[in-house]
Amino acid sequence: MTIRTGVYPGTFDPITLGHMDIIRRGAKLVDRLVIGVTTNPSKNPMFTVEERMEMVKREVADIAGEIHVVSFDSLLMDFAEREGASVIVRGLRAVADFEYEYQMAGMNQQLNGRIETVFLMADVSLQPIASRLVKEIAMYGGEIRKFVPATVRDEVAERVEQIGRKGS
């Protein structure tokens, strides 16, 4: 029996309820889901890769299925190949996401045509959530409890205290 492995890549800085929705649903589509926590310096990370990995591991611990959390700093398709993935799982929130993801999927297909990209639409109630916006709201003292798990909210608040809140 062949085990279907999927990779769900992202920076997860921080992990949001939108990410959790895609992880829960993606885990049902494959036998093994690898959550690839990557670096993207252009996104100005609030948390280190190690902190984000621990955050993700803790939040996915109760989700059914075989889920692994792994860091990577390479081309996505190289990472997916190393993990034995046949599927890349991506979440879509809006048309702007689709245009970017469509282009990336095309480029990835050129790099490795054996791995398919599967798009999951975010739950309607979670579509506006973006890690970048969560961090911005938190930095200005706004409430983020509707967007992230409770423990993540506390970690974001603590980090904001460490680096200093804007607008104060």
Q: Which residues are catalytic?
A: 19, 43, 93, 131
Distance separating alpha carbons of residues 7 and 9, to the nearest angstrom: 6
In terms of Cα–Cα distance, which of 66, 134, 130 is closest to 96? Answer: 130
User: Which value, in Å, is the radius of gyration of the alpha carbons in the chain?
Assistant: 16
User: Is the dihedral angle over the CA atoms 61, 62, 63, 65 positive or is it negative?
Assistant: positive
